[in-house]
Amino acid sequence: MPAETPCSDDGTPVAAPTARVFFALWPTPAIATQLHQLARDAAASDARIMRVDTLHLTLSFIGDVAVDRLPAMEAVGDQTVWPRCTLHLDQLGHWPHNQILWAGSQSPPDALAQLADELSSGLQAIGIRLAARPFVPHVTLARRCRHAQAKAFAPIEWAVDGGVLAVSHRDATGARYEMRRRWSAA
């Protein structure tokens, strides 16, 4: 039986509440602090450096969905095998077209691409289509970064041990992330 469309007091249909969501890897506070320092060292002075509590690696950006779909997305996470691996963040990059400073890996573990594929397949199975783009594992360090300083840095070793389904809330200070659900690596 289809769900009823919510209506206001006068019977006018009301849009169902939505949430902006994504699956991600979330670093420990120590790793996040190292990444934040790297951003401060490499970003242009007028760039918007990401707050330490917002640093993450997106596996699947879902976007705005009806809140009542969140349990189905949690079920996708429940059915996913979350790998334990080590991500060597040893590359600093800059995408001038969208002014993003990022940290990534020259040799990311295959397990991360497999994880992103598994999540994508699970989301497609519940009717959620993701934008067709290659998976490029990276952590956004700064936005509105018109240029970045070339910087040598000691690789950051991130012991990946699970992931999250996060909900993004935007306000005047930027994004704030709520961890809707966490999963541990197998």
Question: Model-level pTM?
Answer: 0.88
Mind listing the pLDDT tens digit for each residue in 38-49? 999 999 888 999
pLDDT digits (tens, 9 = 90+) for 145-180: 988 877 788 999 999 999 999 999 888 777 889 999
Q: Which fold has domain 18-184?
A: Cyclic Phosphodiesterase; Chain: A, (3.90.1140)
Task: Report the interhelical angle of 70-79 vs 110-125 (nearest 10°).
Answer: 140
**Tokens for 87?**
């991500």
Is the CB of residue 59 less than 8 Å from the CB of residue 116? Answer: yes
CB proximity list for 145: less than 8 A, separation 6 or greater: 43, 44, 47, 48, 94, 99, 100, 101
Token reading at 168: 């993004």
